[in-house]
């Protein structure tokens, strides 16, 4: 039997990975590289350390850690301050991390998380961000139920009457919050809309304390929403994730459970876009 041409055989393989890419046993790991990365991660967590401090924290010998540091220093991944005798993360590590951030796409990374959230709660999952003092809806995964909330991508909504809007507002400075209220006002849409600035700020304080916001029929009567904030690598709030649906399905005793699920989804997305501790 004639052999396959090399180019055909090669095309049958997964690109970028060898045949046994799923095998993560010791034979397919480089122990010295793994130790070096552990030292780098430990140094990053410590924010600067002496050789002895880093060796103790990484639970490796000073001699081993020193060889790792010298190697990483040659690549610009770490730097040494001779005056303070401290090792720190280097500029090269920052450049590599910046390339990851440039590659990150918020909407793309949110899609599987939104889908999992919709399946877990049975309600529509949404992603939105603040744009010029309003909520801009970016993505949505709809529930299979016949009665459901619908916010097409590109929809703008007032922040004070939106679950995502209040999750975002709760993370803003007082000056930024007052600016949004002054520019857009607090229009009333239902009897439940918070139109008094002091009442709204009290609600936002409660949102910060519990980690998620609640839109209790404040934009549309008969509809509820629970939302949580998403943070980037710098700790800045960049988006919000929510679940929304009819009040007949999102009843009072379910709010706390939905809040935990939404908060976890928001934390997962935060990590996916580079946040260390959302």
CATH number, domain of 143, equals: 3.30.450.40
CA-wise closest residue to 111 among 142, 133, 76, 88: 142
pLDDT number for residue 114: 97
Confirm whether 277 is domain-assigned.
no
Distance CA 200, CA 214 (A): 12
Query: Are 186 and 136 in a shared domain?
Result: yes
Phi, psi of 127 (to 5 degrees): -125, 130
Residues 146 and 39 in one domain: no
Among the candidates 48, 74, 100, a domain finishes at: 100
133 and 59 fall within a common domain: no
In a domain, 278, yes or no: no
Q: Same structural domain for residues 76 and 110?
A: no
Q: What CATH number corresponds to the domain at position 63?
A: 1.10.10.10
Is 181 contained in some domain?
yes
Query: What span, in angstroms and rounded, lies between the C-alpha atoms of 211 and 64?
Result: 43
Does one domain contain both 91 and 130? no
Identify whether residues 166 and 206 lie together within a single domain. yes
Mean pLDDT by groups of 10 residues along the chain of 278 residues: 46 53 58 92 90 94 94 95 94 80 79 96 95 92 80 86 97 95 96 97 97 96 96 92 95 96 97 80
Q: Are residues 258 and 124 in the same domain?
A: yes
Is residue 126 a contact partner of residue 269, using CB atoms and an 8 Å limit? no
Same domain membership, residue 146 and residue 66: no
Asked whether residue 241 is domain-assigned, the answer is yes
Whether residue 132 is contained in a domain is answered as: yes
Tokens (6 digits) for 167: 């999750």
Does 152 share its domain with 266? yes
Of 65, 82, 100, which residue sits at a domain end?
Answer: 100
> 39 is in which domain, residue-wise?
6-100
CA 64 to chain centre: 35
In a domain, 197, yes or no: yes
Question: Of 71, 100, 129, which residue sits at a domain end?
Answer: 100
Q: Is 243 exposed, middle or buried (0-12, 13-18, 19+ CB in 10 A)?
A: buried
- Do 111 and 85 share a domain, yes or no? no
Number of domains, the chain: 2
């Amino acid at each position: 039997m004639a052999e396959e041409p090399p180019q055909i055989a090669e095309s049958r393989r997964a690109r970028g990975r060898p045949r046994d890419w799923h095998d993560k046993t010791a034979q397919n790991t480089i122990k010295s590289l793994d130790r070096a990365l552990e030292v780098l991660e430990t140094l990053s967590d410590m924010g600067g350390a002496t050789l002895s401090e880093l060796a103790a924290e990484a639970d490796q010998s000073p001699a081993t850690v020193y060889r790792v540091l010298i190697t990483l220093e040659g690549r610009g991944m770490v730097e040494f301050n001779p005056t303070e005798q401290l090792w720190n993360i280097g500029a090269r590590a920052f450049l590599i991390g910046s390339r990851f951030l440039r590659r990150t796409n918020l909407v793309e990374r949110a899609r599987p998380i939104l889908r999992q959230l919709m399946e877990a709660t049975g309600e529509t999952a949404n992603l939105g961000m603040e744009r010029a003092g309003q909520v801009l809806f970016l993505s949505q995964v709809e529930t299979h139920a016949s009665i459901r909330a619908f916010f097409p991508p590109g929809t703008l909504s007032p922040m004070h009457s939106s679950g995502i809007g209040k999750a975002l507002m709760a993370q803003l400075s007082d000056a930024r919050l007052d600016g949004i209220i002054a520019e857009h006002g607090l229009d009333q849409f239902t009897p439940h809309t918070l139109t008094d600035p002091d009442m709204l700020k009290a609600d936002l304080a409660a949102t910060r304390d519990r980690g998620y916001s609640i839109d209790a029929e404040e934009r549309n009567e008969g509809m509820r929403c629970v939302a949580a904030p998403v943070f980037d690598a710098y700790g800045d709030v960049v988006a919000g994730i929510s679940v929304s649906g009819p009040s007949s399905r999102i009843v009072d005793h379910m709010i706390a459970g939905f809040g935990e699920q939404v908060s976890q989804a928001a934390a997962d997305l935060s990590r996916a876009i580079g946040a260390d501790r959302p």
